[in-house]
């Protein structure tokens, strides 16, 4: 399979901060890859290295077989950074025309607007759009030049459910045609809904790199939820939280946990055991990292 972007043992320091530490990743053609990690994990730094906005302190970054800082290489990619400034005086349709004019193989304007649910806004000035509409436009523009690979840094931050779904549809349409996407997100359900492969990043390192199912299986935790007045001390609990009177515990051995619970003699009710969600897996991986350090 063709590799469209890769890093080899890449590290990036900002002064004292080690934002990335020995990251090696390959992004293969046609894949939709989700980069997941807590605030400050290094996701944006990684995207910025891939798209040539930053240079690594150590290691190699390759994009479409070339150097990401080469403008000819960058012609083949689409990018939506976290912050987007669009000219306020232009109309939505005019901005699409303007951006498309820079690319030889542009996507039809109306097709682009339709894909991202923007057709009705084509004649509106950008200055008059809501924050969410601007964000949708900024993401749509990343696809204007029929790129081979698109990098989306938190594309749906600040969007309501409907707008988020409209964006998902646009991203899916591109991917269904064989397009390659790398996206970062804080929304675990977004990665779950879109990506085939998840790369979990924590403290500048790759903590997991696999399918969503495998990432869940890798940590092998199960969620045990119950109502109890006072939770006794239980061995084997990876994490615990209390939401509206219910306790949610994560454990690699739910059978053992239930036996210990019964043995403790505490009065509990409404016991539920369920497979770990991606969020559970993610928290378990990142907290394991914290323990190891
Ligand atoms: N320009 C910069 N100068 C100094 N430190 C920086 C700079 N950019 C990022 N950092 C630091 O590098 C680390 C990684 O930041 P980065 O923005 O890549 O993380 P992130 O995973 O994208 O976080 P978020 O989800 O909050 O956007 C953080 O500790 C951040 O404070």
Q: What is the pLDDT of residues 101-119, one digit of tens each?
A: 888 888 899 999 999 989 9
Distance 35 CA to ligand 1 centre (A): 14
User: What per-residue confidence (pLDDT) applies to 112?
Assistant: 94
* Nearest partner of 34 among 190, 206, 214, 218, judged by Cα: 190
pLDDT for 33-62, tens place per residue?
999 887 888 999 999 999 999 999 999 999
Distance 64 CA to ligand 1 centre (A): 25
| 45 Cα nearest atom in ligand 1 | 18
| 20 Cα nearest atom in ligand 1 | 14
Distance 77 CA to ligand 1 centre (A): 22
Question: Is the pLDDT confidence value at 17 over 70?
Answer: yes
Burial class (CB in 10 A: 0-12, 13-18, 19+), 248: middle
pLDDT for 87-102, tens place per residue?
889 999 999 999 998 8
Question: Is the pLDDT confidence value at 160 over 50?
Answer: yes
State the average pLDDT over residues 187-208.
86
Distance 209 CA to ligand 1 centre (A): 21
Question: Is the pLDDT confidence value at 291 over 50?
Answer: no
Burial class (CB in 10 A: 0-12, 13-18, 19+), 8: middle
Distance 71 CA to ligand 1 centre (A): 25
Quickly tell me which residue has 């996507």 as its tokens: 107
Question: Confidence band (pLDDT; 50, 70, 90) for 8?
Answer: very high
Residue nearest to atom 2 of ligand 1 (CA): 14
What's the mean per-residue pLDDT of the chain? 89
Lowest mean pLDDT among 4-8, 135-139, 269-273: 135-139
Pocket of ligand 1 (CB under 6 A): 14, 17, 19, 37, 39-45
Residue nearest to atom 30 of ligand 1 (CA): 40
Which two structure tokens, joined as six digits, stand for 68? 């990401």
> Could you tell which of 10, 18, 38, 42 is best to mutate to test the pocket of ligand 1, judged by most ligand atoms within 8 Å of the CB?
42
State the average pLDDT over residues 215-222.
78
State the average pLDDT over residues 231-252.
89
Residue nearest to atom 1 of ligand 1 (CA): 14
Lowest mean pLDDT among 12-16, 69-73, 211-215: 211-215
Strand order in the sheet with 246-251: 239-243, 246-251, 222-228, 268-275
Distance 268 CA to ligand 1 centre (A): 43
Distance 15 CA to ligand 1 centre (A): 12
CB of 111 closer than 8 Å to CB of 170: no
Question: Confidence band (pLDDT; 50, 70, 90) for 293?
Answer: very low
Residue nearest to atom 18 of ligand 1 (CA): 42
Question: Is the pLDDT confidence value at 150 over 70?
Answer: yes
């Amino acid at each position: 399979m063709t590799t469209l972007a890769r890093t080899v043992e890449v590290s990036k320091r900002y002064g004292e901060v080690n934002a990335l530490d020995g990251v090696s990743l390959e992004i293969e053609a046609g894949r939709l890859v989700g980069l997941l990690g807590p605030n400050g994990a290094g996701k944006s730094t990684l995207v910025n290295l891939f798209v040539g906005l930053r240079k690594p302190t150590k290691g190699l970054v390759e994009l479409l077989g070339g150097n990401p800082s080469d403008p000819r290489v960058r012609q083949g990619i689409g990018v939506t950074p976290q912050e987007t400034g669009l000219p306020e005086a232009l109309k939505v349709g005019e901005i699409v025309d303007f951006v498309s004019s820079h690319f030889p193989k542009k996507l039809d304007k109306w097709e682009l607007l339709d894909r991202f649910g923007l057709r009705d806004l084509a004649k509106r000035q950008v200055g008059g759009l809501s924050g969410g509409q601007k964000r949708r436009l900024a993401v749509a523009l990343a696809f204007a030049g029929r790129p081979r690979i698109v990098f989306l840094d938190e594309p749906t931050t600040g969007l309501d459910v409907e707008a988020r779904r409209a964006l998902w549809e646009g991203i899916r349409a591109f991917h269904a045609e064989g397009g390659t996407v790398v996206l970062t997100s804080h929304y675990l359900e977004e990665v779950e809904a879109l990506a085939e492969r998840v790369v979990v990043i924590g403290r500048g390192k790759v903590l997991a790199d696999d399918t969503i199912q495998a990432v869940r299986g890798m940590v092998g935790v199960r969620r045990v939820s119950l109502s109890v007045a006072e939770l006794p001390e239980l061995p084997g609990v990876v994490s615990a939280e209390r939401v509206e009177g219910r306790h949610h515990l994560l454990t690699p051995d739910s059978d053992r946990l239930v036996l210990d619970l019964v043995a403790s003699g505490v009065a509990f009710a409404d016991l539920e055991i369920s497979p770990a969600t991606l969020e559970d897996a993610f928290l378990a991986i990142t907290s394991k990292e914290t323990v190891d350090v």
